[in-house]
Copies of this chain bind each other. A is one copy, B any other.
């Protein structure tokens, strides 16, 4: 029997206590699979006195995670504090400086400082693993970094923020406006302290940028992710989309094109009867497309104590088994600085506009679309009682550039009554 692998766990919230519970419950199973015992030697959190419904009496307590990270009796620093700066960053840097392996659930930290951390870790011969940072319990980092390592990756897509998916799903099922469901989600504790991280697409954008770095061998570049949140999605759009056979999801897409790396996290329409369209509330789905494997779809719980702790433990057991990978699947120094390109791959688009109710209005719109090279797949004009007419258009495949051109053209016609909503349609 090898020596035990000793963990120091920084952060005892829902994920940290989840990890403690797994290790207490499954000591024998983990030893059998990992080839050596995995033990916790020390933990840290802000509040020592809080009741956490888990027995911590066997572990040393550190009030400072940096001190925890430096302890001689810690082999793996498990960082489940969260946040891109402050104690999480300081302690992770301290652990790496001390040559310790790091297992983290912290997408923000890696999305913003992943390259520097990866370089520091490699210089020290330490490993950073972060399965829990992306899509909760779904082993997608592993699938992409290892399982699909023989593929040139064509595209990575995913619904990776359960809170946004909950809000959009609930708006549709209950017929409630965004503001009301947002408030419900807040009361249910689904939202981050800064809710913009969720509904602004930032959290999901962090995750997408990590997948893109692995997929395309580029330095993680969260700054280059085009972010659009769900705050402007109206119940009208959800209803109209449903009428036409679509649902709205906050969907991330990353792909390498001839012009550079496209990364986009934005609301999209997906067919209601597609796997993405049928994704329930808090669930995540990631789609990986490789040149040999084709499309691999992974679905599971994107958050929560058990699923996230499961991902942490997968990384810990990998390390127990002696598996040691570069952070983003290849040496950090070999990652290329990506050329960011505007996400412009052709796709059908949904357009919702309101026209002034006067003769020739629709003809003007149709003319603008034609001039922009956009052809119409389907069009609906709804009955109306005032002087303006709601019109829905589903286009054939076109670029975002062409759509932007058309939106400017619509305004110039002088027949618009209000803003036009344009949402990309993805077929998965």
> Which residues of A are at the interface with B, using a C-beta cutoff of 8 A?
18, 22, 26, 29-30, 32-35, 131, 137-139, 142-143, 146-152, 217, 273, 275, 278, 290-301, 306-307, 309-314, 316-318, 321-326, 329-331, 334
A299 with B300: CB separation less than 8 A: no
Please, could you name 9 A-B residue pairs with CB atoms under 8 Å apart, sorted by A? A22-B292, A26-B150, A139-B147, A142-B143, A150-B316, A275-B275, A275-B299, A298-B299, A321-B325
Most buried by B among A131, A137, A147, A294: A147
Instruction: Tell me the nearest residue of chain B to A279, going by C-beta.
Output: B275
Q: A292-B309, A294-B300, A329-B33 are in contact. Are A147 and B142 (CB under 8 A)?
A: yes
Most buried by B among A26, A139, A293, A330: A293
In the bound assembly, the distance between CA atoms of A275 and B326 in angstroms comes to 34
**In the assembled complex, how far is the CB of residue A246 from the closest CB belonging to chain B, in whole angstroms?**
17
A149 with B322: CB separation less than 8 A: no
In the bound assembly, the distance between CA atoms of A144 and B149 in angstroms comes to 18
A22 with B150: CB separation less than 8 A: yes
Most buried by B among A290, A312, A316: A290
Copies of this chain:
2
In the bound assembly, the distance between CA atoms of A38 and B318 in angstroms comes to 23
Instruction: Tell me the nearest residue of chain B to A19, going by C-beta.
Output: B150
A317 with B150: CB separation less than 8 A: yes
**In the assembled complex, how far is the CB of residue A229 from the closest CB belonging to chain B, in whole angstroms?**
27
In the bound assembly, the distance between CA atoms of A226 and B103 in angstroms comes to 41
In the bound assembly, the distance between CA atoms of A275 and B301 in angstroms comes to 15
In the bound assembly, the distance between CA atoms of A107 and B225 in angstroms comes to 42
B321 with A306: CB separation less than 8 A: no
Which residues of chain B are within 8 angstroms of A35 by Cβ–Cβ distance? 326, 330-331
**In the assembled complex, how far is the CB of residue A153 from the closest CB belonging to chain B, in whole angstroms?**
10
Instruction: Tell me the nearest residue of chain B to A334, going by C-beta.
Output: B32
In the bound assembly, the distance between CA atoms of A312 and B149 in angstroms comes to 10
**In the assembled complex, how far is the CB of residue A377 from the closest CB belonging to chain B, in whole angstroms?**
23
Instruction: Tell me the nearest residue of chain B to A217, going by C-beta.
Output: B32
A292 with B275: CB separation less than 8 A: no
Instruction: Tell me the nearest residue of chain B to A285, going by C-beta.
Output: B297
**In the assembled complex, how far is the CB of residue A179 from the closest CB belonging to chain B, in whole angstroms?**
31
**In the assembled complex, how far is the CB of residue A331 from the closest CB belonging to chain B, in whole angstroms?**
8
Instruction: Tell me the nearest residue of chain B to A142, going by C-beta.
Output: B147
In the A-B complex, the 10 residue pairs with the smallest Cβ-Cβ separation, listed nearest first, are A150-B313, A139-B147, A137-B293, A293-B310, A292-B306, A296-B300, A149-B317, A292-B310, A297-B299, A323-B323
Most buried by B among A22, A32, A309, A334: A32
**In the assembled complex, how far is the CB of residue A192 from the closest CB belonging to chain B, in whole angstroms?**
22
B300 with A297: CB separation less than 8 A: yes
B299 with A296: CB separation less than 8 A: yes
Instruction: Tell me the nearest residue of chain B to A325, going by C-beta.
Output: B321
Which residues of chain B are within 8 angstroms of A324 by Cβ–Cβ distance? 321-322
Which residues of chain B are within 8 angstroms of A298 by Cβ–Cβ distance? 296-299
Q: A142-B142, A300-B293 are in contact. Are A150 and B30 (CB under 8 A)?
A: yes
Instruction: Tell me the nearest residue of chain B to A22, going by C-beta.
Output: B150
Which residues of chain B are within 8 angstroms of A217 by Cβ–Cβ distance? 29, 32
**In the assembled complex, how far is the CB of residue A327 from the closest CB belonging to chain B, in whole angstroms?**
13
A146 with B142: CB separation less than 8 A: yes
